[in-house]
Amino acid sequence: MRLKGKIAVVSGAAAGIGAATVARFAEEGATVYAGDLSFKENSEEGGILRRRLDVRDLTLWENLANEVSGAGSAQILVNNAGLVGTYASLTDVSVEDWHSVIAVNQTGVFYGMRVFIPQMLGRGGSVINVSSIWGAVGAAGVAPYTASKGAVTQMSKNGALTYAKEKVRVNSVHPGLIATPMIAAQDPNISADVVRATPMGRIGEPGEVAAVILFLASDEASYVTGAQFMVDGGYTAQ
Ligand SMILES: NC(=O)c1ccc[n+]([C@@H]2O[C@H](COP(=O)([O-])OP(=O)(O)OC[C@H]3O[C@@H](n4cnc5c(N)ncnc54)[C@H](O)[C@@H]3O)[C@@H](O)[C@H]2O)c1
């Protein structure tokens, strides 16, 4: 029960890494507010409160923060919602596609921290922002995704440095290729290329990322802030 008595908020909670994180957090005793665009109505079961959340919408974030503050205050925030959107390059991507990816992956993370960090100041809290290997090292094409994930890396360090004295830790997690609906929808040739470039030679499982997120959320990570955690089978070690 590593999160007993804690309140956690997870975005992008309906599938993949987010769903695995919600399940681990609940097993470890947290009350989890699970937000996702695809949740049509509110539901509650086994310490998991599912809420419709579009991370692009600041008002929905504020409503969720108000609800959570009525129940106590959030000690854990996982900004996980994200999408690739387009594989287009800087010169080919449409301006609309550019803004739509930045709105979810970058501005959504900004909104999450903006509304939930105030609940943590002085009391203690852990923010985990899900970036990517492509927010740590370069990749060709996929221009808005790499830009947004690089921003998530720096926003995490910024939050870590800004709020360190007020007991808020902020870290980023960088998954390699993980078996989720996002990857199932991707061109298999792209996934095969990433597996070939992965020293472990295999795709990762959502639970392998959730385990690292759980560590960062827990008090075991009490001296860890501003760090980048690769969960990538060695991809970025090369
Ligand atoms: N799967 C991978 O290989 C991989 C690799 C690196 C980074 N990541 C990152 O991990 C995170 C989770 O990825 P995943 O593979 O589990 O994705 P996924 O597509 O399987 O699940 C993402 C979830 O986010 C939700 N979502 C999408 N847009 C949203 C919005 N505007 N508001 C709220 N919820 C929204 C979706 O409904 C879905 O439930 C993402 O940030 C992704 O960029 C994934």
Residue 10 tokens read as 């997870």
Q: Ligand 1 centroid vs 17 CA: distance in angstroms?
A: 7
pLDDT of residue 131: 99
173 touches ligand 1 (CB under 6 Å): no
- Which residue among the candidates 33, 87, 111, 145 is catalytic per the annotation? 145
83 touches ligand 1 (CB under 6 Å): yes
Read off the amino acid at residue 34: A
Mean pLDDT over each residue of the chain, to the nearest integer: 98
What is the architecture, at CATH level 2, of domain 7-230? Answer: 3-Layer(aba) Sandwich (3.40)
pLDDT of residue 153: 99
Rounded Cα gap, residues 170 and 217, in angstroms: 10
175 touches ligand 1 (CB under 6 Å): yes
Q: Ligand 1 centroid vs 226 CA: distance in angstroms?
A: 22
pLDDT of residue 76: 99
Q: What is the dihedral of CA 66, 124, 212, 101, to 10 degrees?
A: 40
Residues 6+ apart with CB under 8 A from 27: none
Residue 225 tokens read as 């802030």
Rounded Cα gap, residues 127 and 130, in angstroms: 10
137 touches ligand 1 (CB under 6 Å): no
Q: Ligand 1 centroid vs 179 CA: distance in angstroms?
A: 11
Give the residue, by CA position, lying nearest to ligand 1 atom 14.
16
Q: Read off the pLDDT band of 34 (50, 70, 90).
A: very high
Sheet of 43-45: strand order equals: 43-45, 48-52, 31-36, 7-11, 76-79, 125-130, 168-175, 228-231
Q: Which atom of ligand 1 lies nearest, measured to the CA of 18?
A: 16
Give the residue, by CA position, lying nearest to ligand 1 atom 43.
82
Tell me if residue 33 is catalytic: no
Residue 172: strand pairing partners: 129, 228
Read off the amino acid at residue 169: R
114 touches ligand 1 (CB under 6 Å): no
Residues in the chain: 238
Of 234, 229, 232, 235, nearest to 214 (Cα)? 229
List pLDDT tens digits, range 82-107.
999 999 999 999 999 999 999 999 99
Q: How far is CA 30 from CA 4, 49, 167, in A?
A: 5, 11, 19
Residue boundaries of the structural domains of the chain: 7-230
Q: Read off the pLDDT band of 144 (50, 70, 90).
A: very high
Rounded Cα gap, residues 156 and 46, in angstroms: 30
Of 51, 87, 84, nearest to 182 (Cα)? 84
Mean pLDDT in residue range 180-196: 97
Of 20, 111, 117, nearest to 62 (Cα)? 111
56 touches ligand 1 (CB under 6 Å): yes
Report strand pairing: 168-175 vs 228-231. Answer: parallel
pLDDT of residue 141: 97
